[in-house]
Amino acid sequence: MTRLKYILHVILYMLIVAAANAQQQQPQQRQQEQPQESAYDAKKTRREVRANLKADKFTQAEDIINKAMKTWAEARSDMELNSMMLTTQHALADAENRKIFLNNRPDTAKYFSYIYNVYKYGIVLDSLDRLPDTKGRVRPRYTSSIASNLQSYRNNIKSAGKFFYKKKNYKEAYKYFDIFMQTMHQPALESLKNYRPDADSIEVALLAVYSAYAATDYPSVVKYLPVALNDSSEFSYLCQIGSQTYMEMKDTLNAVDYLFEGWKANPQSEYFFVTLVDYYINRQDYADAYNIVSAQLIEDPDNHRLWYIFGKCQQCMDSIDAAIISYEHALAMQPKDALSYSSLGSIYIDKARQAYNVNNYTIGTAEYARAKTEQDRYYERARGYLEKARQFRPEDTALWLTPLSEVYYKLNMGKELKALESLETNGSAPKSGESNNSASQSRGDNNSASQRGSNNPASQRGSNNSASRLRE
């Protein structure tokens, strides 16, 4: 019995091993049984496409070509197949155009997509057609066909971009403006005798920039901005777009360059110099900010807000007496300028703190009395300015609440101090930090190309002037 059991165990083991081997071989057999992907049959594919084109079955022809190009790299580089695709897209576009002409439920967007494809495959075919042969010779065969197709839809491509731009579909609009610009110097088009490549370049580049900017496609803004800048009527706004675009792209140097270009071209536009001043003050480059405001004051010496910003620059440079003169100059032009009142108040509080230090004087001495009198005099001056700031901007507590509390405390004005403390207790937090900010106090919302959805791209320019507060 023992020997019989051993024999049975051996047989069972052999069966298990055989079954395992069979399972491993099955996937390999299935792989071998699967048919290998056939090679690209150019003649058969072209023949099928021709038959469908001859029968006006353009959609079927398109499907065959798309399937072939998706499957085989050889199909994608087949010049004749690309030529057939160009013919197919042209036929589909014409069929859709007839619907538009006959008002037979046309699909304008579909028509535009077909003419876009005409351009797309036209570019590919033109590139393939100009590749050198094995002997290094370039002998284009399809130039006439490509040029005819591209030229026939040249204006339609531009119209398609405007169509989507008007609908505020800026991403789609840019696609058409972009391909128009890409093909401006396409060899096939340039072969035409009366072709004028630069006739519409500035207009289309301008619309491409506006579309890309509205779609927040910043690299595409930069792509056509140099051409668009040739439109002198839009130069200032384009510089603003350029500066904002490069800021979004974290390219500060180019952003500042565009600010300077815009400022030089249009010093009356407050956006540029305010943004430049704010940039330099934030970097603590006060001398550069000072120089910009000085130059701007030559252009606009009667602007009270400029004098306020000038005073801020001087104050940051520790030119305190000059800053006082600038703030007073601003108030002479605008007696209700709470910002200048607040800044003057802070200056005289600093003077008061410097006038007297309890550790430097002995109470009861003449030196102590003189220092205390001088300190009170500075606090009184600060009180006058800060109470004016409160009068003209009562809601903007950041301009006056904290410094005025210090003034009332130092001048032993208990009743007034208690009233201010009640404001703090009731939760009257400062509503802005204007008294501590730089030129950014004068800046509001940035203009955006997304507001330019009308037929005239410049029609809404300036509606949200970023420096509009300078006119307060």
State the DSSP string of 331-356: HHH-TT-HHHHHHHHHHHHHHHHHH-
- Of 72 and 30, more confident: 72
Token pair 């927040």 is at which residue? 216
- Both tokens assigned to 132: 């050198």
Q: Quick one: which of 352, 355, 331 has its CA closest to 342? A: 331
Q: Is 63 a member of any domain?
A: yes
Residue 469 DSSP one-character state: G
With 0-12 / 13-18 / 19 or more C-beta atoms within 10 angstroms meaning exposed / middle / buried, residue 330 is: buried
Average pLDDT, the chain: 85
**pLDDT value for 466:** 33
| Residue 60 in domain | yes
Residue 312, judged by CB atoms within 10 A of its CB (0-12, 13-18, 19+), counts as: buried
Show Cβ contacts of residue 268 under 8 Å, excluding neighbours closer than 6 positions.
Answer: 299, 300
CB neighbours (10 Å) of residue 459?
Answer: 11
Structural domain total, the chain: 1
Q: What is the mean pLDDT of residues 400-423?
A: 93
Q: Which of 142-156, 222-236, 268-282, 424-438 has the lowest mean pLDDT?
A: 424-438
The 10s digit of each residue's pLDDT in 91-131 is 999 999 888 777 777 789 999 999 999 999 999 999 999 99
Q: Which residues of 109-120 are buried (b: 16+ CB within 10 A; e: fewer)?
A: eebbbbbbbbbb
Q: Is pLDDT above 60 for 177? A: yes
Alpha-carbon distance 114 to 124, whole Å? 15
Kindly state the average pLDDT of the residues 444-454. 42
Mean pLDDT value of segment 303-332: 95
* pLDDT digit string, tens, across residues 178-213: 999 999 999 999 999 888 887 789 999 999 999 999
> Residue 392 falls within a domain, yes or no?
no
What is the C-alpha to C-alpha distance for residues 88 and 46, in angstroms, rounded to an integer?
A: 12
Query: Is the pLDDT at 385 greater than 90, yes or no?
Result: yes
Identify the band that residue 319 occupies on the pLDDT scale cut at 50, 70 and 90.
Answer: very high
pLDDT at res. 223? 97
Domain assignment present for residue 122? The answer is: yes
pLDDT at 443: 38
Residue 464 has pLDDT above 50, yes or no: no
Domain holding 178, by residue range, is: 44-132+141-197
Residue 392: CB partners within 8 Å, gap ≥ 6?
336, 337, 338, 341
Q: Decide which of 259 and 2 is more confident.
A: 259
- Identify whether 243 is part of a domain: no
Between residues 273 and 221, the one the model is more confident about: 221
40-98 pLDDT, tens per residue?
999 999 999 999 999 999 999 999 999 999 999 999 999 999 999 999 999 999 999 88
436 φ, ψ (degrees, to nearest 5): -110, -5
The neighbour count for residue 405, using CB atoms within 10 Å, is: 17
Task: Please tell me the distance from the alpha carbon of residue 402 to that of residue 417, in angstroms, as a whole number.
Answer: 11
**pLDDT at residue 15 in the model:** 61
Residue 121 lies in a domain: yes
Angle between helices 58-71 and 42-54 (to 10 degrees): 160
Neighbours of 377 (CB within 10 A): 14
| 175 part of a folded domain | yes
Residue 257 pLDDT > 50: yes
**Integer-rounded Cα radius of gyration of the chain:** 38
Q: Which residue has the higher pLDDT, 38 or 410?
A: 410
What is the per-residue DSSP string for 99-167? HHHHTSS--HHHHHHHHHHHHHHHHHHHHHHTS--TTS----SSHHHHHHHHHHTHHHHHHHHHHHHHT
* pLDDT band for position 135 (cuts 50, 70, 90): confident
**pLDDT at position 8, please?**
54
pLDDT of residue 24: 61
Would you call 199 exposed, middle or buried from its count of C-beta atoms within 10 A (0-12, 13-18, 19+)? exposed
What percent of the chain shows pLDDT beyond 70?
81
Backbone dihedral angles phi then psi of residue 59, each to the nearest 5 degrees: -65, -40
Query: How far, in Å, are 220, 351, 374, 376 from residue 367 at the CA level?
Result: 70, 17, 11, 14
Sequence letter at residue 361 = Y
What per-residue confidence (pLDDT) applies to 435?
41
Whether 238 maps to a domain, the answer reads: no
Separation of alpha carbons 383 and 404, rounded Å = 7
CA distances from 312 to 9, 254, 328, 345 (A): 99, 26, 12, 13
Residue 7, CB half-sphere, CA atoms under 13 Å: how many?
Answer: 4
Percent of the chain scoring above 90 in pLDDT? 68
Residue 405, SS3 per DSSP? helix
Q: What is the pLDDT of residue 438?
A: 43
- Rounded-to-integer distance, Cα 215 and Cα 218, Å: 8
